[in-house]
Structure 1
Amino acid sequence: MQSQAGYILLALMSAVLMGTIGIFAKYAALPAEQITFFRLLFGSLFLVVYMLISGKKAQILHKPSKRHLINGAMLAGFMSFYVEAIDYTSMANVIMVIYLAPLLTAIIAHFVLGEKLKLFNIIAIGIALLGFILMSPSANTNTLANSDEAKGLFFSILALFTYSGFMLINRKPSQATAYQSTLIQLSVGSLCLLPLIITQPIQISGEQVAYLLAIGFLPGFLAILFAVKALQHLPAVTFGTLAYLEPVAVVSQAWWLFAESLTPIQLLGCSLIITAGMAQGLLSQGIQSQARPELAECK
């Protein structure tokens, strides 16, 4: 059985891998629905191959639960809206809106799932949110006057709510394994987009196929599997705070690949996000460590 620290590491790795989608999507230069469809389709195929070679063949064919079917649609919506949004506005603006989702999820989980927010949790979320604001570009009062920027904001908000729904649904206990949950969600997500794909011509070059395979493997197969595994064992507030590493990853990748420099304020924002994520992870691990002796005494 994996330790709490292991699930925290999976959440961090998922955040970093999720952050690669914007860059790959820019390079692929394909419509949002096509990028999302192949991300989900190739992601599910990579997962099936992994399950076959790792002795999990018996888990592939099973009866899916209704909530995993719903979450497949949530996943397809989130990914499509995310890619669609970056066609109209900058990646930084899209990320700024979407990453209100962990905060929204933690608040909903507090009232709906009984995952009570403690003072330390609220402080950690606040620090992460402050860091996130510092990382964001300066507000432009004329932004919404631009129709493309308005469309980008609209699709970003849709991505925000579908991502929050994805996290909340995966937090509910399930008899399915993480591999089964991920397979159903990836497969259903691709099926949701299939009608849009078959009604339009697809002209893809060899280079674009390579980018689509990378999208299917990294932010598709690995990122979603790690996220589902982590969400099944971490409180929503912990996963949500750790997920703030994604905007840090996006900014870092943009600096590395496109030579986009970070201002001192943005560097401070990155530091605050990482600090809040590490503190939240250590708190979660400490709570689990304290709970184990109590369970042992009960036995």
Structure 2
Amino acid sequence: MNKPAFLKLSISMVIFGSIGFFSKYTGLPALELVFVRCVSASAILAVYWLATGQYKKERWSIKEMLFILGGGVTLVINWLFLFLAFEKTSVTAAISIYNTAPLIVLVAGWTLFREKFQWGGLLATLAAFIGTIMITVTASSAFSHVLLVGSVYAFCAAIFYAGTVMIGTRIKQASPYLVTFLQTFIGVIMLAPFVDFSKYTGLTPENWTFSLLTGVIHTGIVYLLFYGSIRFLRTSVISALSYLDPCVAILLDIFITGFAPSYMQAAGIAIIFLAVSYTVRKNRQEDPATQRQV
């Protein structure tokens, strides 16, 4: 097990778990919020990449550039669908559906990239998914009345997120700084023609604070950690750690909004953490290539 990579991905998933909470306070529609994320993240990463001289150490490859560009497209589309889902239904319901992504990643790893099939990895991922359902089904009565369009958006986001993960595991040489900068800059180019800039004129200082934080923290920092880790981990580990996201979402409800979990929800959280722990133990013996330091 590559411990630095495991820690980085864990941190990125924990931070990402708060994205739904932050998005509610930005006051922006999905498209305009994703654009802010892309602009702020690409600007900060570009300055850091150039100021530190990291660009001098890059190893350029046409094949990897194609992966980076393709991953940038799937990443931005994933964001759009996810924030559209937040607009149409509750964060809890959207996140529940969105968390089918790890299952897609796991199956894709076995079928498309010939990774070794692991019953333990499958069972742990299924257990974590069941834990998520236990949390979300009782988290809000609105779950049983989820709008169809919100459900479709969330599932589309899951598909594109899974695509982003699988493409990201193919990127081995380019630094996380280069990958994240290029992909967020791709987002700027993709979205600029469609952005309604009048949406930014009525924002309060609080709206701007939350909007910029989603760009700097939930985009720049999170995806540096994300791309600096997934290339060194098995898809079974990536899939299991992805379930830290809904755990954080429900814990924010408990400690910030005062939500009290039911016994079933508490059991669901426990199952998720047990599944993650099981996956970690079962993946101690990894390929030598995955043991490189991040």
- Within 5 A, what are the aligned runs for 1:61-210? 65-138=65-138, 143=145, 149-197=147-195, 201-203=199-201, 204-210=203-209
> Aligned partners of 2:92, 2:191: CA distance in 1, in Å?
26
Q: CA deviation at 1:143?
A: 2.3
Gaps of 5+ in 1: none
Q: CA deviation at 1:282?
A: 2.8
State the distance in 1 between where 2:153 and 2:182 align.
25
| SS at structure 2 position matched to 1:104 | helix
Q: CA deviation at 1:141?
A: 9.3
Give the match for residue 44 of structure 1: 42
**CA–CA distance in 1 between the matches of 2:271 and 2:242?**
13
- Pairwise CA RMSD: 2.3
Q: Does 1:267 align with 2:269?
A: no
2:218 alignment partner AA: P
1:173 Cα offset (Å) = 4.1
The answer as to whether partners of 1:245 and 1:273 remain within 8 angstroms in 2 is yes
**Structure 1 residue 263, shift from structure 2 partner:** 0.9
User: Aligned partner of 2:278: which letter?
Assistant: A
Judge conservation of contact 2:32–2:199 (CA < 8 Å) in 1: no
- C-alpha contact (below 8 Å) 1:51/1:60 kept by paired residues: no
Q: 1:30 pairs with 18, 28, 31, which one?
A: 28
Runs of at least 4 residues off by over 4 Å: 59-64, 138-142, 198-201
Between 42-51 and 121-130, report the one with greater CA deviation: 42-51
Q: What corresponds to 2:226 in structure 1?
A: 227
1:59, 1:210 → 2: CA distance?
34
Query: Is the CA contact (8 Å cut-off) linking 1:103 and 1:237 kept in structure 2?
Result: no
SS at structure 2 position matched to 1:258 = coil
Deviation at 1:140, TM superposition (A): 7.2
Distance 1:162 1:115 in 2: 20
* Mean Cα deviation higher: 253-262 or 59-68: 59-68
Q: Percent identity?
A: 22
1:61 CA drift (Å): 11
Q: Write the deviation string for residues 108-164 of structure 1: whole angstroms up to 9, x where unpaired.
A: 1101111122121122112211211111124879626xxxx1121121111011111
What is the CA-CA distance between 1:174 and the residue it aligns to? Answer: 3.4
Contact 2:240/2:279 (<8 A) preserved: yes
Q: What secondary structure does 1:28 align onto?
A: coil
Is this contact kept in 1: 2:13–2:245, CA < 8 A?
yes
Deviates more, 1:246-255 or 1:188-197: 188-197
State the alpha-carbon separation in 2 of the partners of residues 223 and 41 from structure 1: 15
**Residue 19 of structure 1 aligns with which residue?**
17
1:235 partner letter: R
Shift in Å at residue 168 of structure 1? Answer: 0.8
Q: Structure 2-normalised TM-score?
A: 0.89
Q: CA deviation at 1:73?
A: 1.3
**Count of paired positions:** 284
Q: Distance in 2 between matches of 1:269 and 1:141?
A: 16
Question: 2:143, 2:52 → 1: CA distance?
Answer: 54
Cα offset for 1:238? 0.9
Q: Which amino acid aligns with 1:85?
A: A
Deviation at 1:53, TM superposition (A): 4.3
> TM-score under structure 1 normalisation?
0.88
Secondary structure of 2:266 counterpart:
helix
Q: Which moved more, 1:211-220 or 1:51-60?
A: 51-60
The aligned counterpart of 1:8 is 6
**SS of corresponding position for 1:87:** helix
Runs of 5+ consecutive residues of structure 2 not aligned to the other structure? none
Aligned in 2, Cα 1:17/1:161: closer, same or farther, shift over 3 Å? same
SS in structure 2 at match of 1:254: helix
